[in-house]
A and B are shown apart, each in its own frame.
Chain A
Amino acid sequence: MKECEDTGIIKTIRCIVCPTGCLIEVREDIEGKNTFQGYTCKRGLEYAQQEFFEPKRIMTTTIKIDNAIHPLLPVRSNKPLLKEKLNEAFQIIANTTIKAPVKMGDILIKNITNEDVNIIASRDMEKK
C-alpha cells in the first residue's frame, strides 16, 4: 500500500561520514513526508537529514590585506554557513580589504550573512 503512495526518490545523497560511502535515497510521499533509506548507521542518517533539510559548509577563502608580507590573508568561517548563502558571503569578502597586522582567530567580518557566523583570520600576519 505504502509503496503505491510513494512519489519515488527525489534525491540521492552520498554519505561522506566514513569511507564506506553509502548511497542514501530520500523519498517523499503524497503528504510531503520524507523518508531516508540506504544508510548503514545512525551517523549516516543524521548526515543525510542535515544535508537534505539544511546543507551547510565551512567556508575557507582569502581576503585582501594591505601592508603585509603577502597580498592575501587566508580566512575561514568560525562555524558552518548555509550552502545557499555561500555566494553572498564570497561577494562580501571579495569587496573587503583589511590591514596588517592580524592574529589568528581575529574577527574580520562579524555576522556575515546574519546567521551569527563570523569570518576569522586563519593565521597571524605581520606588517611588512
Chain B
Amino acid sequence: MNTYKTDVAVIGSGAAGLAAAIEVKKAGLEVLLLERGIELGGILMQCIHNGFGIKEFDKELTGPEYAQLFIDQVNQLQIPYKLDTMVIEIAFDNKLYAVNKNEGLIEIIPKAIILAMGCRERTRGAINVPGFRPAGIFTAGQVQRFVNIEGYLPGKTIVILGSGDIGMIMARRLTWEGCKVKAVVEIQPYVSGLLRNEVQCLEDYNIPLITSYTVTKIHGKDRLKGVTIEAVTKDYDRIIGTERFIECDALLLSVGLIPENELTRDAGAEISSMGGPVINNNLETTLEGVFACGNVLQVHDLVDLVTAEAKRAGKNAVDYINTRYKKKLKTIQSICLFPGNNVNYVKPDNISLSENIHDIIINLRVKNPDRRVQINIKDDTNRIIYKKKKSYVIPSEMIELNIKINEIDLNPNCNGLIIEVIPLLEPLIE
C-alpha cells in the first residue's frame, strides 16, 4: 500500500478545497488535494450560468470561470492533487484511507485535515408521494450535470418541484434546449430562490410559478406520464378538491441541499442538526486538527462566502500545525451558541476564546422572511451584548456577522449566547 505524508490533506476540490489548499501552500506548508471526480472544480464546473464572484472579484463570472481562476493558482503553486481518488475513512490519529484505480488502497498521513466534501441534494418531497417510481424523476443538480457536461436531456415536458435557485436556473436552461417547462411548483407561499432568478429564469420565459402547491401523485409505470399537484395550507395540509393533473415526462426536484458527512460521522465527529459538523470559531470540528469549510459545513448560496470560509480554514490549519500540533490546547473560555427567535441555525456551534482570538465570524439563517429586524446576541443573563439592524431577512440568504471581541462586553463567566432576530419597533433609517 502506498503511503503519503503531508502537512495538510484536503478532501474535495470544489471552491472550498481549492481555496483552502492554496492558502496552506502560500503559508509554506505541504498540502495534498484529494478528489473523487475526474477533474478539479467540484459543483462549479456544472454551474455554467453567470453570477459567481461578485464579492470576491467584483465581476460576474460563470461557475467554470470562477473555478478556473483557482485551478490556475493550484497549477502555478504546483500543489499536488490526486483525481479519481475517493477518501473512504478518516481513521484514528487523523490518518486517511482512500482508493483509486491506479494504486488501489492508499494511506495518507497528514498533521491536519480540511474537510471540503460539499453537499448533496435532498430527495425529500418525492419520497412520500404515492405512485410507482417510473423513470423520469431526477434532482435538479443531476439534470444540470446531464445537460451541461454530458449532453443529455431528461425529457421533453418538464415539471419542477421546488423553487430553489438550481431549479429555476434549470427551468431556463431546459427551455433554451427546446424542452417545455410546464410549471415550477413550490409548497411555500413564496419563492425560495433569489428574485433575480425568478425574473430572469421564469418570468422572461413565461414559465408558471405555482406557490402553495405540491406534487401529491406520480403517474406512469415505466416512464413518468404526469403528476397531480394539490394546494396546501400554510401548515402544509392538503386542501381537498384542488387536485390538478399536469402531463410531463420528467420531474425535477429542487428541494434543497444537505451537507455530505458520512466520513465525518464515521470518524466520530459530532454532527449538528442541520447536517454539518459541530465546529468552534476556528472551523475546527470536535476532532482535533480536523477543520471544515464550504458546503460540507453549511449550505452556502454564494460561492464567494465559500472561498472566504475556506481561506480561514486553511489559515487555521496552518496555525494549528505551527502552534498546537501534538501540544495540549489551553482555552480561556468556552461559550456555546444557540439559535433563538426566528433563527434556524448558527455557526459556529461554540467559541473557544484564547488570547490570539480577536474577531469571530458568525453565520446564521432565519426561519421566516421578515422586514426591518434587529439581530441580537444575548448572554446567559439575558443581556444584549451585540445588536445589528437589517432592512430584510430571508431564509435563502445566509447572514454573516463579524464581531470584534474587544468591542463587545462579554462577561468572563458567560458560557452560552443566544442569537435572535426580532422585529424592529422604531422606524429604520437606511
Contact = CB atoms under 8 A, between A and B. Distances in A.
A104 B68 contact: yes
Contacts, number: 68
B60 interface: yes
Interface stretch (A3-11, A27-35, A67-75, A108-116): A67-75
Contacts of B67: 123
Contacts of B28: none
Contact of A21 (B39, B49, B60, B195): B195
A14 B176 contact: no
A14 B191 CA distance: 14
Given A57-B200, A74-B62, A62 B48 contact: yes
Interface string B131-164: 0000000000000000111110000000000000
A36 interface: no
A61 B176 contact: yes
A76 B176 CA distance: 14
Contacts of B391: 20
Interface in A60-113: 60-62, 64, 69-72, 74, 76, 83, 90, 104
Contact of A14 (B63, B151, B203, B397): B203
Contacts of A76: 48, 50, 62, 65
Contacts of B199: 14, 16
A122 B48 contact: yes
Nearest to B44: A123
B62 A19 contact: no
Contact of B62 (A14, A60, A69): A60
28 contacts: A14-B203, A16-B195, A16-B200, A19-B195, A19-B392, A20-B391, A21-B195, A57-B204, A58-B60, A60-B48, A60-B49, A60-B50, A60-B62, A61-B48, A64-B151, A70-B149, A70-B150, A71-B150, A74-B62, A74-B64, A74-B148, A76-B48, A76-B50, A76-B62, A90-B176, A122-B68, A123-B45, A123-B65
Interface of B: 38-39, 45, 48-50, 60, 62-65, 67-68, 71, 147-151, 176, 194-196, 199-200, 203-204, 391-392, 394, 397
Interface of A: 14, 16, 19-21, 57-58, 60-62, 64, 69-72, 74, 76, 83, 90, 104, 122-124
Given A58-B50, A122-B62, 12 more contacts: A14-B195, A16-B196, A16-B199, A19-B194, A57-B204, A72-B149, A72-B150, A74-B45, A74-B48, A122-B48, A123-B64, A124-B68
